[in-house]
Structure 1
């Protein structure tokens, strides 16, 4: 009887061990593991694109390699984003180009289309992706969403080296006065990391059609075609999903570029009101290094007085109480950053109270140093401008 028990245990152990090896092997064929060392960026893009499309496999109708077929599977590629900031950057554009180029050469049964409204009815799948900074490198995360039922058909991620990746924001994101990471952008980030078989983020999918119009408008803005961009932002605003910070921000930026000062101030007021109503207003006030003085270049800071006036006006009319929270980039010792971020928040509070005295009893200043960086590059330039922001958080009055 003792021998039988030992034999049974030994057989059971071998089965478990074989199952574990099989599981590891199958997973390794599908998705690069998080312990993988970072690869050169273009190689990492090829690796993760392979993993994503092979993982979907024949059962999903995606037949990799081989001769071209008359009925291709169509994928619409939503432009990838920096997961921390929600921005499009030179690096995310490079990722987009790499995905499309690798799929075109190696997956003949797949046609990858741009994120346009006219392409959505043709597509079976949506590809959502992000770049995220980690200690070891840049994490590329890609998800393929079946548009019939909103299920993630495949997901893959891998690490890329950071040394040759330009994460400078594109013009729209660079010029934006506020953090644009709303619930739609957060939904894209969650979807890019969702496991196979899970549902894609419902808010993200519900706003996809409007997202194509916003993307068109952003492209026009980045190309300096401000009048055409403004028409597209207004078109997006008129859609059912158009009540978004990205749309309001686009109207502000384009009217400002077109010299329509009154319209621009009204648009920024709506940006501030939206942010306060959604407890999500992070504003990029740039300061001279180590000081509470605004950045010396008037081209950067000329609108700050108007921003403060509108934030004070919207904060006053909303009758809410706010914590004014200063942040800094990670350059320098943490204790210095803590003190500096607090002094900058106090300076912003002082300016707001000068605009609206009623805010004196409904605001308080806090400093968070560099503990909540969105970019974390420590470059102290346009790349990590969002790390040097001031946020306005709704709090209980009297707290």
Structure 2
């Protein structure tokens, strides 16, 4: 016991803790080399350990004595904005690695109640890079709006499952807007710099959207629809993920009128932000829509709403056809143009006035988002037809 000299004992204790923490901070965790691809599990460990070390070093002595709460905003495929089987694996591994006993962080799920008490926000992305994947993580100081720590690793492509979760598989559009883009930018922002403002401003609504998406992925469509409606009713809830969620939930529930109304709002949102990437699927090598009516049955309504919304706003558009990486450039370029022309013909049937304000382009596979050439649900965003708003004078 040290009661007679309590103050000296306490001093020695604090100095001892400080020394041990200082030594821990000096030890170097396994950090991946920028050019050394690692299996996904090892890459996550390396990037997570680097992030934790930076967080410890930046928090000072008192911060090191107390665990800080970090809420994990589910990680994304940076190219498509989708959550996939691999990003789910990343979420689980980050929670376990960063939140393990004795670590500096308590990692909690992305929920409204947790966001209210958390001081830190954790983001992360996977994106294809030179035949492999780049993993990026960021830890954001919520109050300051500043990136506290950032780490990266290269992931071997083998065994990385980028199959999208049901919400993204069922989406008619490429689910990217300024909020999703802001999340992606934040994940690569160096420590000490500001996180993306558009992303942080809408973070509260994003927790409601995430709850709804979890319900949708669990096939609880009626509950999901209620949550998406709740998100849209908030000032920060006007996001493509919420509008898309109302549409696909209404489709699952057979609410035809609400589904079409929601799709019209989705198109109007895309026009307002100058780009709308539609996942029209075609039979291989042709300009015919996919033969399965479960896939292509709604395409007539989609085109009707695109014509209606474009007509109301008097915009001019480029209709840009894309193909997957399968096949040669000599075949893909004309095929993508023929598909764009086919969409223009269908728009002309809905509204000749709108069709006159469009031109068609074929990009082949040059603007692939996914790039696997697998011709399945994974690279569906590559086989899109994109509507880009352009200056009518040009």
TM-score (norm 1): 0.89
State the alpha-carbon separation in 1 of the partners of residues 336 and 322 from structure 2. Answer: 5
State the alpha-carbon separation in 2 of the partners of residues 38 and 62 from structure 1. Answer: 35
Structure 1 window deviating more from structure 2 (331-340 vs 98-107): it is 98-107
Question: Could you tell me whether the CA contact under 8 Å between 2:278 and 2:384 is conserved in 1?
Answer: yes
Q: Per-residue deviation at 1:136?
A: 4.0
In the TM superposition, what are the counterparts of 1:1-399 in structure 2 within 5 Å? 32=31, 35-60=34-59, 71-105=66-100, 107-399=102-394
Q: Per-residue deviation at 1:62?
A: 8.9
State the alpha-carbon separation in 1 of the partners of residues 200 and 219 from structure 2. Answer: 29
Residues 97-141 of structure 1, C-alpha deviations (whole Å, 9 max, x = no match): 011111233643421000000001221110111001011411100
RMSD value, Cα: 2.1
Q: Per-residue deviation at 1:315?
A: 1.0
State the alpha-carbon separation in 1 of the partners of residues 105 and 60 from structure 2. Answer: 10
TM-score (norm 2): 0.90
State the alpha-carbon separation in 1 of the partners of residues 124 and 362 from structure 2. Answer: 33
Q: Per-residue deviation at 1:61?
A: 5.2
State the alpha-carbon separation in 1 of the partners of residues 61 and 264 from structure 2. Answer: 48
Question: Could you tell me whether the CA contact under 8 Å between 1:214 and 1:236 is conserved in 2?
Answer: yes
Match of 1:9 in 2: none
Runs (5+) with no aligned partner, structure 1: 1-25
SS at match of 2:97: helix
Runs (5+) with no aligned partner, structure 2: 1-24
Question: Could you tell me whether the CA contact under 8 Å between 2:126 and 2:133 is conserved in 1?
Answer: yes
State the alpha-carbon separation in 1 of the partners of residues 378 and 57 from structure 2. Answer: 41
Residues 206-243 of structure 1, C-alpha deviations (whole Å, 9 max, x = no match): 11000000000000000000110011001100111011
Question: Could you tell me whether the CA contact under 8 Å between 1:272 and 1:310 is conserved in 2?
Answer: yes
Instruction: Spell out structure 1 runs of 4+ moving beyond 4 A.
Output: 26-34, 61-64
Question: Could you tell me whether the CA contact under 8 Å between 2:29 and 2:46 is conserved in 1?
Answer: no
Match of 1:16 in 2: none
SS at match of 2:99: helix
State the alpha-carbon separation in 1 of the partners of residues 264 and 100 from structure 2. Answer: 48
Taking a change above 3 Å as real, the CA distance of residues 357 and 273 of structure 1, as seen in their structure-2 partners, is same
Taking a change above 3 Å as real, the CA distance of residues 253 and 393 of structure 1, as seen in their structure-2 partners, is same
Q: Per-residue deviation at 1:360?
A: 3.0
State the alpha-carbon separation in 1 of the partners of residues 249 and 45 from structure 2. Answer: 37
Q: Per-residue deviation at 1:35?
A: 3.2
Taking a change above 3 Å as real, the CA distance of residues 72 and 32 of structure 1, as seen in their structure-2 partners, is closer
Residues 369-391 of structure 1, C-alpha deviations (whole Å, 9 max, x = no match): 11111111111000000000011
Q: Per-residue deviation at 1:332?
A: 0.9
Question: Could you tell me whether the CA contact under 8 Å between 1:115 and 1:215 is conserved in 2?
Answer: yes
State the alpha-carbon separation in 1 of the partners of residues 381 and 39 from structure 2. Answer: 27
Question: Could you tell me whether the CA contact under 8 Å between 2:76 and 2:87 is conserved in 1?
Answer: yes
SS at match of 1:99: helix
Taking a change above 3 Å as real, the CA distance of residues 255 and 158 of structure 1, as seen in their structure-2 partners, is same
State the alpha-carbon separation in 2 of the partners of residues 353 and 313 from structure 1. Answer: 12
Question: Could you tell me whether the CA contact under 8 Å between 2:32 and 2:154 is conserved in 1?
Answer: no
